[in-house]
Structure 1
Amino acid sequence: MRKFKLQVQVTADGYMAGPNGEMDWMTFPWTDDLNAYLDALTKPVDLIVLGRKLAEGFIPTWAAAPEGEDEATVAWMNETPKVVVSSTLTESPWENATVAGGDLAEAINELKARPGGDMIAYGGGTFVANLIAAGLLDDLHLLVNPTAIGSGMPVFPAGAHHRMELVEARPFECGIVALHYRPKR
C-alpha cells in the first residue's frame, strides 16, 4: 500500500494560518539544507492530494510559475498528478487534476490501494484536520517556523488526543525545524 504523508508549515505555537487565514508569518527564503530535505521528501511522491479550497489557489499559482521558485520545483508541482478531495466539485476545472468525492476515508483508502509511489497532502486547515481526525496519514512532516502568532487555525483538531512517534527532528539554517512524526495506531 502507498504511503500517505502530510507536509505543512506551522508556527511554533501550532497554527497553520492566522485567524483570518494569514500566512505572512512563514520564513523565507528557504536555505539549501531545507530544500534538500524537501527534495528527498517528495522524490518518491507521484500523487498530490489537496482539499478543494487549497486547490483553488494552489494549482493556478503553480501553473503561473511563481517568481522566485526554481524551475525543477515548478515543473514537479505542475507535472505531478493531483487529486482534489471535494464534496462540492464533480469534475476538475484544472489540468492534470481529478476529483474524488464521497466519504473522505473511502476516497483516500482507494487512492492508497492503487499501485504507485507515495502520496503527499498539502493542506488547507479543514482538509488537514479531517485527514488527521480520520487517521488517514502515515507520516506528518511539520515545518515549524520560528514564529508564534497566538491564535489561528490549528493543525490538529480539538477534542482528541493524537499520539505520535517522533521519527526525526531536524533544524535548518533558516530557522525552520522539520518534525517528522508517525501516528501511533
Structure 2
Amino acid sequence: MRKLKLQVQTTVDGYMAGPNGEMDWMTFPWTDDINAYLDALTASVDHIVLGRKLAEGFIPAWAAEPEGEDKASIDWMNNTPKVVISNTLTESPWANAVVAGGDLTEIVNRLKAEPGGDLITYGGGTLVSGLIAKGLIDELHLMVNPVAIGAGMPVFPTEGAYQQLRLVTARPFDCGITALHFEPERS
C-alpha cells in the first residue's frame, strides 16, 4: 500500500503561514544538504496531493519555472501527476492534474490502495488539518525554520490533532532549517 507523506515548512512555534497567509519567514537559500534530503524524500513519490487553494498558486508557480529553482526540481514538480482535493471544483483547469471531491478519508484511502509509488502533500492548511485530524498521514516531514511568528495558520488542527508520534529522525541543515520526520504510532 502506498504511503501519504506530508512535507511542510513550519515555524518553530508550529505555523505554516502567517495570519494573512504570509510565508516571508521561510529560510532561503537552501543548501545542498537540504536539497539532497528532499530529493531522497520524493524518490518514491509518483503523485502530489494538494488542496484547491494551494493548487491555485502552486501549480501555476511551478509551471512558470521559478527563478532560483534548479531545472530538475522544476521538471519534477511539473511532470509529477497531481490530485487536487476539492468539493468546489468539478474538473481540473490545470494540465497533469485531476480533481477528487467527496469524503476526504475515502479519497485518500482510494489513492493509497491504487498501484504505484508513494503520495506527497504540501498542504494547504485546510487539507493538512483534515489529513492530520483523520489520521491519514503516514509520514510527517516538518521542515522547521529558525523563526517564531506568534500567530498564523497552524500545521496541526485545533480539534482532532491528538495522536502519538514517533520521531524517526531529526536532522539540522546548514541553512538553519531542521527536518523532523515523525510517523504516527498506530495500534
Give the shorter-chain TM-score range.
over 0.9
% of aligned pairs identical?
Answer: 74
Task: Quote the Cα distance in structure 2 between the aligned partners of 1:159 and 1:87.
Answer: 21
Is the partner of 1:75 in helix, strand or coil?
Answer: helix
Aligned to 2:181: 180
Task: Quote the Cα distance in structure 2 between the aligned partners of 1:3 and 1:108.
Answer: 10
Deviations 1:57-78 (A, max 9, x none): 0000000000000000000000
Gaps of 5+ in 1: none
Is the CA contact (8 Å cut-off) linking 2:144 and 2:180 kept in structure 1? yes
Aligned to 1:146: 146
Aligned to 1:166: 167
Q: Shift in Å at residue 162 of structure 1?
A: 2.5
Task: Quote the Cα distance in structure 2 between the aligned partners of 1:78 and 1:72.
Answer: 10
Q: Shift in Å at residue 159 of structure 1?
A: 3.2
Task: Quote the Cα distance in structure 1 between the aligned partners of 2:142 and 2:130.
Answer: 16
Consecutive aligned runs of 4 or more in structure 1 exceeding 6 Å deviation: none
Task: Quote the Cα distance in structure 2 between the aligned partners of 1:162 and 1:155.
Answer: 14
- The total of aligned residue pairs comes to 185
Task: Quote the Cα distance in structure 2 between the aligned partners of 1:68 and 1:162.
Answer: 37
Aligned to 1:77: 77
Counting only pairs closer than 5 Å after superposition, residues 21-60 of structure 1 correspond to structure 2 as 21-60=21-60
Is the partner of 1:178 in helix, strand or coil?
Answer: strand
Is the partner of 1:156 in helix, strand or coil?
Answer: coil
Gaps of 5+ in 2: none
Q: What TM-score results when the alignment is normalised by the length of structure 2?
A: 0.98
Task: Quote the Cα distance in structure 1 between the aligned partners of 2:46 and 2:159.
Answer: 33
Equivalent residue letter for 1:176: I
Q: Shift in Å at residue 184 of structure 1?
A: 1.4
- Superposed CA RMSD: 0.6
Task: Quote the Cα distance in structure 1 between the aligned partners of 2:57 and 2:7.
Answer: 17
Aligned to 2:87: 87
Deviations 1:16-44 (A, max 9, x none): 00011110000000000000000000011
Q: Shift in Å at residue 163 of structure 1?
A: 1.6
